[in-house]
Structure 1
Amino acid sequence: MFDSFLFDSSKDLLWIFLMSLLIYPSLVFILRVFGKRTLTNVNMFDFIITVAYGNVLSSIIITKSISYADGVLVLFMLTALQMILSKLQVKFAFFANLIKAKPVFLYYQGEFNEEIIKREKFRKEDLRQALRKNGMTSFEQAEALILEGDGTISAMEKRENSSNDALVDVRWNR
């Protein structure tokens, strides 16, 4: 039962070593060719692709039935599909609206958006943490707390004579 628990064979270790040496630089090359947009975390699909890269990379390295060429093709296709999705979002507003989550106010000008806070399962402690991360000590210092499309919370500090251009596309309700 435990005969291969700590060590299976030197052939297996050599496979993992060599496949790691080949596939990792290949992924780096693919990502460099496709550009920086590939690894941004703008929306949930970007997060999914990042997780998929890790999963695929480990499967390619460990699974002997997956050849190097198979692995490179999978990584290439994931990256290509991600880029196609990104281009469709830029070109067609309908598609972007379908794919991307819109930012929404959790707090704005002294008022909490209780409906969204409850629906998104946030606590006031989460909102206070966002304030602290942005150097604020109270809600009175904040103009807005925004749940971004990628799931992060942005905290906007109150500023005199500010146009609030960054808040144009933020909604109170979804």
Structure 2
Amino acid sequence: MNLTPAFDHMFQLPIPIIEKLLRPIIVYLALVLLLRLFGKRELAQLNPFDLVVLLSLSNTVQNAIIGEDNSITGGVIGAFTLLAINWFVVRVLFRSPRLTRVLEGRAVVLIRDGIIDRKALKHEALTREELVEVIHRQGFEHLHDVHHCELEPNGSFFIEAKDPSIADKRHDELLSKLEALNKEIAALRVRPATS
């Protein structure tokens, strides 16, 4: 049995290596730009449609990345190139906060003191219902319970409550009781022993 044709088929590159390196870089940069242009909403995956878009996106660009190459070598080169360009971009962004703001954008305040900023919602193409769903997922019953809500550049939501949470209140109670116990122990140590 001659295994040479099988190995040739699995490992031989049908396209030039420079093309294998350039394809993933171009697709990566195009996706970064497109996701920036279309907003944080796609990253937040607020509804099934957003998820479908992200899943379909990976399949859509697959052929652009690999071309007519199904070889293992081509796949490894493509994967390496994607990881390398991402490593490079992350390092550059780490060193340049200004460039990070330009590429990633800024957080958008959606709620201030329980009041929705409708202009910000419209800009981010979010409905009131989607925002309420996010608030509920974070454990808030009503919008007026939210002091501050931001949509971060990475698509996550930062939500701050108006009142301390029950866990925070219990934590504060526990700290005050421990402080009281410490004072009692200190007072007992200072008192002279009576015989």
Give the structure-2-normalised TM-score.
0.49
The equivalent of 1:137 in structure 2 is 141
Cα distance in 2 for partners of 1:157, 1:104 equals: 17
How big is each residue's C-alpha offset from its partner over 1:1-35, in whole Å with a ceiling of 9 and x where there is no partner? xxxxxxxxxxxxxx9xxx7xxxxxxxxxxxxxxxx
Matched, 1:146 2:146: no
Task: Report the Cα offset of residue 151 of structure 1.
Answer: 2.4
Cα distance in 1 for partners of 2:130, 2:162 equals: 19
State the one-letter code of the partner of 2:142: S
How big is each residue's C-alpha offset from its partner over 1:112-152, in whole Å with a ceiling of 9 and x where there is no partner? 21211111111111111011101111112111121111223
Task: Report the Cα offset of residue 110 of structure 1.
Answer: 2.6
Find 1:68's aligned residue among 58, 67, 72.
72
The equivalent of 1:107 in structure 2 is 111
RMSD value over aligned CA atoms? 3.5
Find 1:121's aligned residue among 117, 122, 125.
125
Find 1:89's aligned residue among 68, 88, 93.
93
Task: Report the Cα offset of residue 64 of structure 1.
Answer: 7.3
SS at match of 1:143: strand
Q: Any conservation in 1 of the 2:114–2:145 contact (CA below 8 Å)? A: no
SS at match of 1:79: helix
Larger gyration radius, structure 1 or structure 2: 2
How big is each residue's C-alpha offset from its partner over 1:45-95, in whole Å with a ceiling of 9 and x where there is no partner? 7x6xx9699549976xx9874321111011000011011111111101222
State the one-letter code of the partner of 2:125: K
SS at match of 2:148: strand
User: Cα gap change, 1:66/1:57 in structure 2, threshold over 3 Å: closer, same or farther?
Assistant: farther
Question: Identity over aligned residues, as a percent?
Answer: 18
Structure 1 gaps, min length 5: 1-14, 20-43, 163-174
User: Cα gap change, 1:58/1:90 in structure 2, threshold over 3 Å: closer, same or farther?
Assistant: closer
Give the structure-1-normalised TM-score.
0.55
